[in-house]
């Protein structure tokens, strides 16, 4: 009988020990500092942790402190901060900040990370198709082509395209595929911009070692514009993009003449100059994007799964800032020297694309001769 009682006591003690161990493990989960990668794994238990924490007096005290810090920041710092100082710190004005972000500070790292993911989801779902979009009317496309024409007399240009590397930390899977020619890990942002340096189309997430022409032919943009039969009845008929030499020369994408060893003619050199002076809008857009959101200049220390969401959100916010005339001061803009994507020459050219380019090239030279002749009449 005594032996049975002793066995029961031992079993009860063992159960208590197991409960205590599990309780300690749960406490460790609760109080551990979450990195973004850890939070990805523990995301499903976060609601349970938050539910448990409301019964913990210490956690509640910490929350009250954080709330007090947040309130202090908003009431004492934010409201009294001068506009120029606010923009210097946050790269946008107070009005744009209030319109798109709101005021939440004094949060723990895991809470901020969780809130950021929600913020990315909201911004992308609400604004992506509203703020990054091609015009859908004839008047909309004409507005872009007319403004591009004012730069260097390029007619019927509806956008400039290029690619830019966004630094990331080495992914766990196939890291060599993300290692680019400049010596760091990255994903590529392919973008089309208008005359105002606003994004009309973006493709985010291709591996850093991928050639830009491959990204193009696998993008929705290519599928849309390569089918000229559908474009014939749209506002995009007989409209062109400008890209640099790494892209193929197509009926809707005009690239510079390539020097393949024989040298360029005077006409081709002049065409390339005017082409570059017009296409520079996309390089300027990348400079504004990275100057405004400088997290894109350095290695993003976040889980790989949300890198594309960050880049997409930054592009959307860039357009919102430009649309609201919330411009970035020239001294804070990042200056890319040309494009920083993969610049291997691509020899793909189509007869239709070459004919269009030659026609534009001849028009430029005739215009130049006419201007020279006209100017000489006044001397």
Nearest partner of 146 among 138, 136, 157, 137, judged by Cα: 157
Tokens (6 digits) for 193: 């911009």
Count other Cβ atoms within 10 Å, centred on residue 325. 8
List per-block mean pLDDT (blocks of 10 residues) for the chain, which spans 379 residues. Answer: 54 51 48 43 43 51 61 64 72 66 49 74 92 92 95 94 94 91 94 97 95 93 80 81 94 92 90 96 95 88 86 94 87 67 60 93 86 59
Q: Which string of b and e fits 164-199 if b means at least 16 CB within 10 Å?
A: bbbbbbebeeeeeebbbeeeebbbbbbbbbbbebbb
**Side-chain-facing half-sphere of 182: CA atoms under 13 Å:** 16
Q: What is the DSSP letter of 81?
A: S
**Nearest-angstrom CA–CA distance, 351 and 148:** 25
Tokens (6 digits) for 87: 């923009």
pLDDT of residue 262: 81
**Nearest-angstrom CA–CA distance, 168 and 311:** 11
**Side-chain-facing half-sphere of 216: CA atoms under 13 Å:** 25
Strands (E) in the chain, as ranges, are: 157-167, 186-193, 199-207, 240-242, 253-254
Which uninterrupted H or E stretch holds 377? none
The pTM of this model reads 0.71
58 touches 66 (CB < 8 A) = no
Dihedral of CA atoms 147, 150, 156, 160 in degrees, nearest 10, equals -70
**Nearest-angstrom CA–CA distance, 89 and 220:** 36
Helix/strand/coil percent split, the chain, to 5? 60, 10, 30
Nearest partner of 219 among 207, 233, 235, 201, judged by Cα: 201
pLDDT of residue 66: 60
pLDDT of residue 224: 87
276 touches 256 (CB < 8 A) = yes
pLDDT of residue 178: 94
pLDDT of residue 50: 45
Give the Å distances, CA to CA, from 310 to 18, 132, 165, 258: 43, 15, 14, 35
Nearest partner of 243 among 207, 276, 287, 284, judged by Cα: 276
């Amino acid at each position: 009988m005594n032996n049975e009682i002793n066995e029961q006591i031992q079993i009860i003690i063992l159960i208590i020990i197991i409960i205590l161990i599990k309780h300690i493990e749960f406490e460790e989960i609760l109080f551990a500092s979450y990195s973004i990668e850890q939070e990805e794994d523990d995301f499903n238990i976060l609601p349970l942790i938050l539910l448990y924490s409301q019964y913990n007096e210490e956690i509640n005290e910490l929350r009250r402190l954080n709330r007090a810090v947040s309130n202090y920041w908003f009431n004492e710092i934010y409201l009294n901060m001068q506009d120029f100082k606010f923009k210097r710190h946050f790269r946008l004005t107070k009005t744009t900040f209030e319109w798109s972000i709101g005021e939440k500070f004094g949060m723990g790292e895991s809470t901020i990370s969780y809130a950021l993911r929600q913020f990315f989801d909201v911004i992308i779902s609400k604004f992506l198709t509203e703020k990054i979009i091609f015009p859908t009317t004839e008047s909309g496309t004409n507005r872009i082509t007319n403004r591009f024409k004012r730069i260097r007399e390029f007619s019927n240009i509806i956008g400039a395209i290029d690619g830019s590397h966004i630094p990331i930390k080495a992914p766990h899977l196939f890291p060599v595929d993300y290692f680019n020619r400049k010596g760091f890990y990255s994903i590529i942002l392919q973008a089309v911009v208008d005359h105002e340096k606003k994004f009309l189309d973006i493709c985010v997430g291709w591996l850093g070692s991928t050639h830009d022409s491959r990204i193009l032919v696998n993008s929705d943009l290519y599928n849309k514009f390569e089918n000229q039969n559908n474009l014939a009845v749209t506002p995009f008929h007989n409209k062109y993009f400008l890209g640099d030499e790494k892209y193929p020369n197509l009926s809707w994408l005009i690239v510079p003449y390539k020097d393949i060893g024989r040298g360029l003619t005077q006409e081709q050199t002049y065409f390339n100059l005017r082409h570059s002076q017009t296409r520079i809008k996309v390089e300027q857009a990348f400079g504004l994007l990275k100057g405004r959101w400088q997290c894109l200049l350095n290695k993003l220390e976040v889980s790989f799964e949300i890198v594309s969401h960050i880049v997409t959100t930054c592009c959307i916010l860039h357009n919102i800032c430009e649309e609201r005339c919330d411009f970035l001061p020239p001294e804070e803009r990042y200056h890319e020297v040309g494009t920083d994507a993969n610049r291997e020459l691509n020899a793909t050219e189509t007869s239709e694309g070459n004919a269009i380019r030659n026609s534009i090239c001849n028009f430029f030279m005739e215009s130049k001769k006419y201007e020279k002749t006209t100017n000489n009449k006044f001397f």
